[in-house]
Structure 1
């Protein structure tokens, strides 16, 4: 994971990634399909789901739209 994050920050990124993965699987969408829908690269989505990326607000909005939820819902799941 890039950056100097605290253990709590790293844990939050992992929980956020898990929330995104959970929503994706609920929707029955593969990483490849989510990448196609969002215009994001499949390997990027994988790294987000593993908590290896500090995903930008714009990308969270994009992912949430593709997953048919609000960005805030992803954060609520991550808490």
Structure 2
């Protein structure tokens, strides 16, 4: 798979994780929906400016677009988690992180008790 196909596939994964149609992504990125289809198929050699619009629409760090290595269910779950929190404020993200830490500590504690 070449770079345009890999980036396009990744954009499709992120779009689906967010539960968006191509039309919804196109609207959020101020692009035409048929253009998004071409990008996702790897038919379009998009500019950095266009890629920046797509990244901004997803509200994700730019490097997320280039995470091709892991196409497992774990990666999909992480992508979904990232899209769920990406539009939140810093204070909300910090609160969610604190809650996640507490939940994980409880899970870890429970696993240790089960191992006894």
Determine if the alignment matches structure 1 residue 52 to structure 2 residue 53.
no
TM-score by length of 1: 0.79
Which protein is richer in helix relative to its size? Answer: 2
Aligned-pair Cα RMSD in Å: 1.8
TM-score by length of 2: 0.55
Q: Which contiguous aligned blocks of 4+ residues in structure 1 show a shift greater than 3 angstroms?
A: none
User: Larger RCO: Structure 1 or Structure 2 (Cα < 8 Å, ≥ 6 residues apart)?
Assistant: 1
1:3 counterpart residue number: none
CA offset digits 1:3-27 (Å, max 9, x no partner): xxxxxxx711111100000000001
Which entry has the higher C-alpha Rg, 1 or 2? 2
Determine if the alignment matches structure 1 residue 61 to structure 2 residue 52.
yes
1:20 aligned residue (7, 11, 34) = 11
Structure 2 residues without counterparts, runs of 5 or longer: 70-116
**Between Structure 1 and Structure 2, how many residues are aligned?**
70
